[in-house]
Each structure stands twice: as structure tokens, then as C-alpha cells.
Amino acid sequence: MARNQKAKDQKTIVLGVTGSIAAYKSAELVSLLVKQSHNVFVVMTEDAVEFITPLTLQTLSKNPVTTSFYNEKENWRPGHIELADEADLFLVAPATAHVIAELAHGLAHHPLTAIALATRAPILIAPAMNGKMWEHPATQENVEKMKSRGVEFIGPEAGMLACGYEGVGRLWKVEDIAFRAEFLVRRHDRLIA
């Protein structure tokens, strides 16, 4: 493939990682997205860094990882706005009930939610949480509110949860998330072409 063609085909995916036990699966997701020839930038919540280190995701993505607004001291332009502008897709996987609520209500007190407010790229959310939390009317109302704004959800799926319960709340299969991300990036590319 010609060098110019590869650069044209390479899309920027901003991956938000939240404080779910499923955060460890974000390493595999980053690897799959990079293998699809995407430029991946990871944005982690403060809780996410308790489950997986930024260094792991930085090494796999080959890009700096944003964990705080205070990481953005190298440039006059806020890094989260730059990521929002450059994104061809904003993917949050895993997404906790807390972050889904923040996104539904337009709160932006950390880079992940600020990017969601500022980007005009398609947004894909892959929830992961306790089944009772997922099924709670507040969570379902937040999901419906986001869907009405054009946000797409993938999952969660049923199975044994980290909390010991069986139910709906597991992160969707990472390979399927990567496949859906690829589809959305290509569809968005065709729509703006």
C-alpha cells in the first residue's frame, strides 16, 4: 500500500476508559484498533488508573495517555479539545453507570466527558457494570437520552459478573467492539466524503 493511501486510511479513535473491573480489557481493545491501522489516543478517568496503568495503554497505542486536565501543559491549546477535534470516533469501553450518567447530563469535570461534549465524531459506548445497576431505571433513562442524541451502544452482555452475580452487565466481546468501531469509522468517513 502506498504511504499516502495508508495515511489517508488511518483514522483517529479516542478511547475512553472508565473505572470498571473490565478496564483491563482495554489493553486488548487498543491492540486490536492499532492492528486495524488506527491512531488510538486513550483518555482514562481517575478511577480507571486503579485497574490498568496508563503506561500499558501508552505502550500499546504509541501515544500519550490523558488522565487529567493537568496533563495538558505542553501546548497553549487544551489537549482534550484537540482530541475532540481530531477524533473520527469517540469510543468509551468500558463505560460505568457513573460516566454514562455524566455523559447523559452533559457534565464535563474530567477530560473524558469534556471530549464527549466537544467532539462532533460518532460516539460508541460499551457499558460494563453490575446487572442491577444496568437495569436500574435511572441508567436506562440515561441510555435512552444518549441514544436519542445519536450515541450508539454495544452491549452489555449476560454472564458471570465480577461482583459474583450472574446477569446482564458484562463488557461486550472486545473483538466485536473493535469490529463495530471499524464499521462506524468507515461509515462516518463515507458520510463526510
Please say if the pLDDT value at position 188 is more than 60. yes
pLDDT in tens, 80-101: 889 999 999 999 999 999 999 9
Which domains, ranges and CATH numbers included, belong to the chain?
A: 3-192 (3.40.50.1950)
pTM here is 0.90
Residues 6+ apart with CB under 8 A from 4: none
Q: Which of 184, 188, 152, 159 is nearest to 173 (CA)?
A: 159
Where does the pLDDT of residue 5 fall: very low under 50, low under 70, confident under 90, or very high at 90 and above?
very low
Q: What is the mean pLDDT of the chain?
A: 89
pLDDT in tens, 49-72: 999 999 999 999 999 999 988 765
Active-site pick, 69, 163, 168, 186: 163
Alpha-carbon distances, residue 33 vs 38, 68, 92 (angstroms): 6, 23, 13
Alpha-carbon distances, residue 131 vs 18, 33, 42, 139, 164 (angstroms): 17, 28, 26, 11, 11
159 vs 92: which has the higher pLDDT: 92
Where does the pLDDT of residue 193 fall: very low under 50, low under 70, confident under 90, or very high at 90 and above?
low
How far apart CA 21 and CA 99 sit, in angstroms, is: 14
For the question of residue 163 being annotated catalytic, the response is yes
pLDDT score recorded for residue 6: 45
Where does the pLDDT of residue 75 fall: very low under 50, low under 70, confident under 90, or very high at 90 and above?
low
Please say if the pLDDT value at position 180 is more than 80. yes
Please say if the pLDDT value at position 7 is more than 70. no
